[in-house]
Each structure stands twice: as structure tokens, then as C-alpha cells.
Amino acid sequence: MGNYSHLFSTFQLGSLRLPNRSVLSPMTRTSAEPSGLANERMARYYARFAKGGFGLIITEGLYPDAISSQSYKNQPGLANEAQAESWIPVIRAVQGAGGKIVAQLMHAGALVQHDGFTPIAPSAVKPLGTMLEDHGGSGEFAVPRAMSIEEIRSVIESFAQAAFRAKKVGFDGVEVHAANGYLLDQFITDYTNLRTDEYGGSTERRVRIIVEVLRAIRAAVGPDFMVGVRISQGKVNDFHHKWAGGEMDARIIFEHLATAAPDYIHKAFAPAFAEGGPTLAKLAKQYSGLPVIANGKLGQPDKAESLLENDHADLVAIGTSALVNPDWVNKVRVGRALLPFDHHFLLPIATLKEEEVGV
């Protein structure tokens, strides 16, 4: 059994005292009710990770408004009081098992996989790639409609109101999803943001909406409720994308995010721009001065421990390895073998399986 002293050390993340450095990564499972309500299967699913030792659990992306933000069918939401209250049994199940749970707030932007509304985006640019079949999509994405300034302000307010609902029903915090090709990331990305106003052009202007979302949320929830933000270069429809400005873009983005004083940045652990160079997690720590959660192929505990030991991140997010090892933390603690993850686990569609929600 390895010596994982960093993995099993406590950490103060915002207002939360965490018992260890292992975080459940947010993973889209599209298993809510058609109305966006969380259900009893989801309560059992999330509770398994708390029972398995994860100190912090981040939900899959929850859409913040019923107008334009839902990406997938059967995606859960926080767009109204009924959706928010449906999370109370999930929250109680997780907290009752000793865990903390954070609601990830996600606006689809152009990446919409249903015909419920016309997608909106920074600019009328058709997304690359095709819809995700394992999340119920097929074919090409539609061309979105460019957002007006009024719509941008409305979206910012919808994030703030969703965060307020999350706090009201008992979540331990929220995470703003500004990664992986969804709306806020579409603003950061040069080829999807062709705007010439205050939200487009320079990197400083393209990151502006995320800063404004974070500030609006903080105003809505107060100083003591945890607020984080997830950032990435790669996208679900353009996995290998890199920021055009390289490390200078990283510096601008992370320094600007820090002005909104989030409690953490959630970032991919991979070479940022060249093999052997610093990771984006390391650059996030360097330029923001904030705690960093690293994610991406960290299911091997030796790798996760090394990352923490070398101060590349403060916490590690475990994703697919946790799906087949919901007790990942407890297994690593006592030296039990971890089951390998096979992508067929999520096929043909990534909804919850019976073995994941068994009593």
C-alpha cells in the first residue's frame, strides 16, 4: 500500500472543511425526469460516492433557466423552485453519509441536443463535430442565434438565481461550468466568439462574462457560500483545442477570474501547450493564487498523490475511475485493488445503470 499522506490530508476549501483531497468529478448522466427534476435513483447514485469516502461531490451540469440553457434531454435543472426542491433528498443522502455536495451550473449555449428551442451563443457559429450519441444526440448541431446584450445580462442573472436556489435548498456550494465547449466557454473561445462589443475581441473581453457571472452569484449568495469555476481548453466537440494565445491567454484568463474571488478553479491536469511544459492546473495556481482542483485521468492514486505533493493542485477530481469504484477513496486508503474503467460502461447511452443505484 502506498503512502498517500497528501490525498488523505484535510483541506479548507472556501467555507468547507474537507476530510481529504478527493473530489467526485461532475459527469453528465442524463437520468433526471423529463421535467428536469432530480429523482430517487439520483439520490442513491450520489450517496454511493459519499459513502465511498469522497470528501466533496460535484454534480453533473444543472441548467439554470428554462429558456435556453438545457443541453440534453433528461438533464437535471435548477431553473425553478420545483427543480431545486427535488434535490433536497439527494443533498440529504450525501450529507447524511458524511459528504459535501456542490451544484454545477451549466448553460448549453450552442451545444443543444434537442429541438425544444433555438440555441443561443456569442455568435452565429455552427459548433464543430456532431452531437454526442451516448447522451442521446445524433447528427450535426444547429446554427445558434447570436445573443443580444440584453440576453447576456439575462443569462448572468439566471446563473445568480440558480445559485441562490442551490443555497436555499441546502447545497454546500456551486460551481460555474465555464468549460468543455458550453456557453461560457464559447465566449472564451476565439473561433466561436466573433463579437465586436465588450464581450468579444481581446481575451480580456471574452472572459468578461464569466467574471460577471461569478460576481452576480456572489452578490446573490453572500460571502460565506462556496463558489467555484471550472475552466478548460478542450471541449466535448473539439477535444484537442488550445487557447490561441498560449500561456499569455492562460495568464489573462486566470488573473481576471481571480478578480471575482471564486473559492477555487477546477482545471484539467495535462500539459497546457506543449509536452513537458506546465499543466493548466499549475498555471491556474500560479496566475490566480486560488486553490485548484485538477481533473483528467487521475484515477491512479500514485499519480494523484504526486500531483498534490508537487503542488500542481490542491485537490484531485476523480471521474470515470469513480464510476466503477464509487468507494475509490476507501479502497485507496486500505490498499484494495481498483477496478479498471472500460468506456463500454457508458454505452450505448450514459444513463444510470441498475448496478449504480442498487440499495
Is 281 among the domain residues? yes
- Residue 164 domain-assigned (yes or no): yes
| The residue to which cell 500542481 is assigned | 312
Q: Is residue 177 part of a domain?
A: yes
- Which stretch of 54-63, 88-97, 132-141 has the lowest confidence by average pLDDT? 132-141
Q: What is the pLDDT of residue 270?
A: 72
**Which candidate in 45, 46, 182, 287 is catalytic?**
182
Does residue 221 form part of some domain?
Answer: yes
Residue 278 lies in a domain: yes
Assigned domain for 181 exists: yes
Which CATH number goes with the domain that contains 28?
3.20.20.70
- Residue 182 known to be catalytic: yes
Residue 197: which of 158, 154, 151, 234 has the closest Cα?
Answer: 151
When pLDDT is averaged across residues 315-327 and rounded to a whole number, the result is 97
Please give the model's pTM, rounded to 2 decimal places. Answer: 0.96
Q: Does 224 map to a domain? A: yes
- Whether residue 5 is contained in a domain is answered as no
Domain count across the chain: 1
User: Using one digit for the tens of pLDDT, what is the confidence trace for 8-63?
Assistant: 999 999 999 999 999 999 999 999 999 999 999 999 999 999 999 999 999 999 99
**What pLDDT shows up at residue 274?**
76
The domain in which residue 297 lies consists of 11-356
3-state secondary structure the chain: CCCCCCCCCCEEECCEEECCCEEECCCCCCCCCCCCCCCHHHHHHHHHHHHCCCCEEEEEEEECCCCCCCCCCCCCECCCHHHHHHCHHHHHHHHHCCCEEEEEECCCCCCCCCCCCCCEECCCCCCCCECCHHHCCCCECCCCEECCHHHHHHHHHHHHHHHHHHHHHCCCEEEEEEEECCHHHHHHCCCCCCCCCCCCCCHHHHCHHHHHHHHHHHHHHCCCCEEEEEEEEEECCECCCCCCCHHHHHHHHHHHHHHCCCCEEEEECCECCCCCCCEHHHHHHHHHCCCEEEECCCCCHHHHHHHHHCCCCCEEEECHHHHHCCCHHHHHHHCCCCCCCCHHHHCCCCCCCHHHCCC
113-126 pLDDT per residue, tens:
988 889 999 999 99
What's the confidence (pLDDT) of residue 352?
Answer: 93
- Counting residues of the chain whose pLDDT is more than 70, the rounded percentage is 99
Greater confidence (322 vs 297) lies with 322
